[in-house]
Amino acid sequence: MSDSLETLVKKINNWGVQRNITTLGGATPESQMYKCMEEVIEWFQAEHTLEFLINHRGELQHECYESFEYEAHSEGIDAFGDILVCLIQAMRLSGVSMQECLAHAWNQIKDRKGTMVNGKFVKELE
């Protein structure tokens, strides 16, 4: 059975402390967010690899395409995970929890009205 989100966050926080991702080790929320930006770039690279494969699948042998598609998908999952690890470390270093941040974000967006238009969320004016 998979660990709960709460358990995983605790494990990731403990992992960071054990590896000296702490203020004593020189880590800051800013340094973790910089690392997060690097991970976001890796996600974009994985996503664009998958997009390229989808757009060129007719030019690739079927077995080759499936192998690359799986690899790109796996790299995307890995990148999302790395992004979350960096965010969790930045939150810990800032003295806030993921639950606190998500609850705040939810309270900010829960009553927003709007819709996606051409790939962007457009808020409805009140």
Distance CA 71, CA 97 (A): 32
If you average pLDDT over residues 21-50, what whole number do you get? Answer: 90
pLDDT at 25 over 80: yes
Per-residue model confidence (pLDDT) at position 67: 60
pLDDT category at 43 given cuts 50, 70, 90 is confident
pLDDT at 117 over 90: yes
Beta strands in the chain (DSSP E): 114-117, 120-123
Per-residue model confidence (pLDDT) at position 125: 80
Contact assessment for residue 104 and residue 94, using Cβ atoms and an 8 Å cutoff:
no
Alpha carbon 80 to chain centroid, angstroms = 4
* Residue range 70-106, pLDDT digits in tens: 666 677 788 899 999 999 999 999 999 999 999 999 9
pLDDT at 28 over 70: yes
If you average pLDDT over residues 56-72, what whole number do you get? Answer: 59
Domains by residue range for the chain, with CATH: 5-123 (1.10.287)
